[in-house]
Structure formats: structure tokens, C-alpha cells
A and B are shown apart, each in its own frame.
Chain A
């Protein structure tokens, strides 16, 4: 039996739930594997030794997350960063738009909807100064981005993995699966998502809405664009964006909008808004994305 552990760091638990979402496939998984540690499912507090595959989700936000991750590394043969937070900082990385003190005072002392309280100085682990993806602190053997990774993908990866086979899953961008048609349409105004109502069947970029599908690793089947909402990049950067030093989410989207609308890139840039959420919402914590010379992340984060 392959032993599997699921650990949650600074996470919303969505990643663990996505593994439960395997439904009947979970039984297939459990034919060959045994869940030895999964706080989301069982009453366990301490990590066992000799874990074959440890699946860690969430970012490293406090001292306890860091300690847990290090312990997990020493006790497991394969350590997988599961989900966009573990891989790139994910949405938890948006906390880096504020200083640590701003975050704690908003939580404890200066929150309009709760009674003000002093900062705890025991039991609650201390926050690190910024949010880190798991790979910042330890060697990771595999990354599975997604917020959360969708159950089909998870099944297609985990089932071969426990059978000691290499998973064969696509690695294209969201556009590859999106059913909308991308056309060249001249326009000169970028709309915010709340404005107007986008037409069905037609690419959001062709209608002046910011959609991150072309710069995002897909494998979700174009879930959001199918439901009428532009892709906000939860799958993390596409492999092209990661690979090329001069490629970034920001300049990739600008370039495509300019190309489709015939607007000069400078004009598109002027209309771009709220980059911390709209463009970099899922990758602010990633040093790889921040280290690119073209990245705007350094201008956004407060350290």
C-alpha cells in the first residue's frame, strides 16, 4: 500500500475538498493507497513517519506552517505542492499588498465589524513577514497548480502516480479548452467585469474584458468562461509565461488586447486597473514571477 498524507498550511481547504471530490474514483485510489494523515477527514494531529506521497496545500504564512512543511519533507519520499497557493502563493499572496502590521491590525484591533482586541502573544503562531509558496522553504518533487486543481485532473494525476506510472495530462492554456471565439474587433475601451453584459460565445478579449485565459495554465476545461465569467488566472501562469524571461501575465494580456482591438499597447496599459487583483491575484507570492524584469509585482507588494 502506498501511504498518502494530506496537509493543509495557510489554505482555504478547497484543495483537500477537491481530492474528496474524486467521488467514486476515491475508491480506485484507496485500492492501492492508504490515507495515513488527513486532518480534513480524520482526527489526527501528528504526522506519521514513512509517508510515500505527501500532498501539501496552502502557502507558508506563519511559523507553524513553516515547521510543518519541514517536518513533512523529512517524513515523506515524494512531496507534492498541490494547488496554486502551494505552487505560487495563490490568493493568500494578495496579503502581500499590505504589510504584516496592516494585516494583523485589520484582524484584531482595527476591524469595523468586530470588537477591538489586543494581538495574541501565545498559542497563535507568529506571521512571517510575507506569504511564501511551499517551494521557498523546501525541495518540492512535483507541482500541481489549480485553485483548486479540478477533480478530473487530480484523478488523472494521482491514480497513475500511486501505480508508479507517469501521468499524461495536458499542459496548455485555458484558451485551448475555451469554447468562445476570438475575433479581431476594433475598440478603444476596456470594461471592468461589473460593467455591461458580455455576449455569449465570443471571446472576452474581443469584447474589451480582461480575461487571463491565454496566460493561464488550463486543464479546468474553461470553467469560468463557460459560465460567462472571464478567467481570473486561478490555474497559475501558463508554461510559456513561466519559461520566457520577457513574458509576464501583464504584458501577455496587454499584447493580446492590443492585437485584437488595434489599440496601441500604451493605451491598453493606461486603462488597466487594480493589477494586484486583476492581473497578479494568484501569483503575487511567487518569486519566479516577481523576479522577471518585466514584472509589476515589485511595485505592488509591501514588505
Chain B
């Protein structure tokens, strides 16, 4: 029987749903490399010349959004991920969030 680690299982499950697309806002990236250190699946690598992050392995992304948590400048956007599980289900907070212009 094939042994799968928890991480691999998660990947398999999330892949089963949808592939993730990741966009990087290079102007926003401050080059700290935190996403490279924190991503459990080695999705990112620093570009040695520009010293900005690059997505080298989008297929392996399991949409945990650890990179969003650590990135100081909100430089990445993940498309096609299911965000409901991440949303703060607090009506007051959501109400304010929606109204920030």
C-alpha cells in the first residue's frame, strides 16, 4: 500500500478539486523570503537577480495560505481557492471588511 504523508494527502485532496493559480505583485514584494521559508510545499523560490519571490511549483500548492499569513506586503493572490473556510465568520467583522473603501 502506498504510504502518503498528511501533507501529500492534503495535496491530493486539494488537487482533486482544482488547480491553484498564484499571482505575485512584484512591486509589493519586499524580498524577505518569508514565503520561501514558510511554504510547506516549496512553491516559491527567490529570483536571485531581482530578489523577489517567484512561483516555481504552483501545482504543489495545497492552499493552506501560510504564505499569506507571513507575507508582510500581501504580495500574492491565489485564484480559484475556496476561501470560505478562511473567512472570519463574525458578522460584525465581515460587515466592516466589506465596507472599507
Contacts and interface: CB of A to CB of B under 8 A. Distances in A.
A123 interface: no
Nearest to B70: A259
Contacts of B73: 172-173, 175-176, 178, 214
Nearest to A205: B72
A176 B30 CA distance: 7
A238 B74 contact: yes
Interface in B62-90: 68-70, 72-75, 86-88, 90
Given A145-B100, A157-B101, A239-B97, A175 B92 contact: no
B28 interface: yes
Contacts of A80: 101
B74 to A, nearest CB: 5
Contacts of B96: 135, 143, 242, 288
Q: How large is the interface on B (under 10, 10 to 19, 20 to 34, 35 or more residues)?
A: 20 to 34
B34 interface: yes
Interface in B26-67: 27-28, 30-34, 37, 51
B25 interface: yes
Interface residues of A, number: 41
A192 interface: no
Contacts of B93: 242-243, 288
A145 B31 CA distance: 27
Contacts of A181: 30-31, 51
B99 interface: yes
Contacts of A180: 30
A239 to B, nearest CB: 6
Contacts of A217: 100
A47 interface: no
Most A CB within 10 A of own CB, among B27, B72, B73: B72
A264 interface: no
A302 interface: no
Interface in A181-209: 181-184, 203
A184 B87 contact: no
A184 B33 contact: yes
Interface of B: 25, 27-28, 30-34, 37, 51, 68-70, 72-75, 86-88, 90, 92-93, 96-97, 99-101
21 contacts: A141-B99, A142-B101, A143-B96, A143-B100, A172-B73, A173-B73, A175-B28, A176-B74, A176-B75, A180-B30, A182-B30, A183-B31, A203-B30, A214-B73, A239-B100, A240-B74, A243-B88, A243-B97, A256-B70, A259-B34, A288-B93
Given A244-B69, A259-B34, 10 more contacts: A142-B100, A144-B100, A173-B73, A182-B31, A183-B31, A213-B72, A239-B97, A242-B93, A243-B93, A256-B70
